[in-house]
Amino acid sequence: MAATLTRERFAGPEWVFERKLDGIRLIAFKDGTDVRLYSRNQLPLNASYPGVVEAVAALPLHEVVLDGEALGVWRAQGQVGYHVFDLLWLEGRDLRALPLDARHAELSALPLAAPLFHVPRLEEPEPWQRACREGWEGVIAKRRDSPYESRRSRSWLKMKCEAGQELVVGGFSEPQGKRVGIGALLVGYFEDEDFVFAGKVGTGLDTRLALTLRERLDALELPAPPFTRGHALPRLGIHWVRPELVVQVGFMEWTGHDKLRHPRLIGVREDKRAREVRRERA
């Protein structure tokens, strides 16, 4: 189940709010001693999160399916925390048709211990104000009576403090001055069969990331631009690449020419396929 972006700011007794986590979405399946972690694209991730696998395996349950995010803010003993916000299956019972509050009550009763965490509900009357004040990405509003839907739903709404979304790298410029590896990334998104140019992202590239990205992008090089639409596409000194690498970008807003204003690179997304990246519209 995925949340829909909204510009609205509201509250009410039919809604609950949670912090929007900027991690990697994980569904965790436990069937006896067998534990499997999958990304939102059904990619197997057991090898990426061995501490989470071990902790889910240790739960005193035979069958359970959890939904949450892996987040690197908890790194005791080198582990990543798995922050759980929904419960889909429990001991032979499919809970997806139950209202959110009923699923949450059963989830709250599970004995989760680090590196497994319950995602708490926010009690403030206007939780998005706290989110922006404390530098969070935003909040998620969820209808108390909503079942779990395996799609993007308006029963879950995301309120962001900063605009941001996944984009796909289609090229990069050479570094200038003291920079190394990459000057800026040229990014875009897919719209029908078009790959649309959305602008250049140079902020947020530290030396280590720039060198790592250069090595990956050199292996994807193309002789011509992959972009099929977009305003003011630069062409001099640009290395074009196959649009396969997905990155997370934060920015202020979209300009009148459909470009990113003041973009910054947040990180690489390994959990989403490039062809699924669309421009998010509130």
- Positions annotated as catalytic residues are 20
**Two structure tokens written together for 118:** 């319950």
Task: For residues 148 and 65, give the distance between their C-alpha atoms in angstroms, rounded to a whole number.
Answer: 12
| CA–CA dist 210, 27 (Å, integer) | 31
Backbone torsion region of residue 146, taken as left when φ is above 0, otherwise alpha when ψ lies between -120 and 50, otherwise beta:
beta
228 and 188 Cβ atoms separated by less than 8 Å: no
In angstroms, what CA-CA distances link 19 with 68, 127, 232, 247? Answer: 12, 9, 37, 22
Degrees, nearest 5: CA angle 271-204-207: 95
Comparing CA positions, the residue from 41, 93, 23, 25 lying closest to residue 62 is 93
For 133, the enclosing helix (H) or strand (E) is helix 127-133
